[in-house]
Amino acid sequence: MPRFLEVRRHSARAKPGPHLSREGVALARKLGEGLGPFALVVTSSKPRAVETAVAMGFAVDREIEELSELGRGVEEEVDWDAGFAAFAKVLPSQGATAQFAARLAGLWARLVEEVPEGGTVLVVTHGGIVEAGALGCLPASPIAERGSCCGFCEGVRLSWEHGRWTAATFLEVPRP
């Protein structure tokens, strides 16, 4: 039976502040009504990621610093908001972005291995990290062709079976 990893970008924040806006809380609450259950909930250490998970209705089990920032040198190769296709284009160079994507794929594999078969992990992180990690897991997935980046609370659902990633689905959030 497969395990699943659902990776979401945080909700809208009140820039330049670190916290969610009222609209961001409302979006996360509405989305959370249809999500779960999750065997493990992990976020970046930034307040907007933690607040998104809580607004969705889930207690945070773990905060991981590595989910808080793009890896060193990534932004020199690709803009965080350039979309899946832009990340996919630079991965074959084996530069900083490819190395970061591989580290995320390894981290996500360890997380999904922590839950029982049929279980799901929720990860709430940031734009660019969702795209890099998903492509690190499944570089030839159809999501590699998506030109856009993840909007607020959007992300990917990855399937894990027999010790490997087997499928990726883009998770859209309907906009009013």
68-111 tens-digit pLDDT: 999 889 999 999 999 999 999 999 998 999 999 999 999 999 99
Q: Is residue 149 part of a domain?
A: yes
Number of domains composing the chain: 1
Evaluate whether residue 176 is within a structural domain: no
- Residue at 123: amino acid letter: V
pTM value is 0.96
Q: How many whole angstroms from its chain centre is CA 130?
A: 4
Residues spanned by the domain of 55: 29-171
Q: Look up the CATH number of the domain holding residue 88.
A: 3.40.50.1240
4, part of any domain: no
Integer Cα distance of 92 and 7 in angstroms: 23
Residue 17 inside a domain? The answer is no
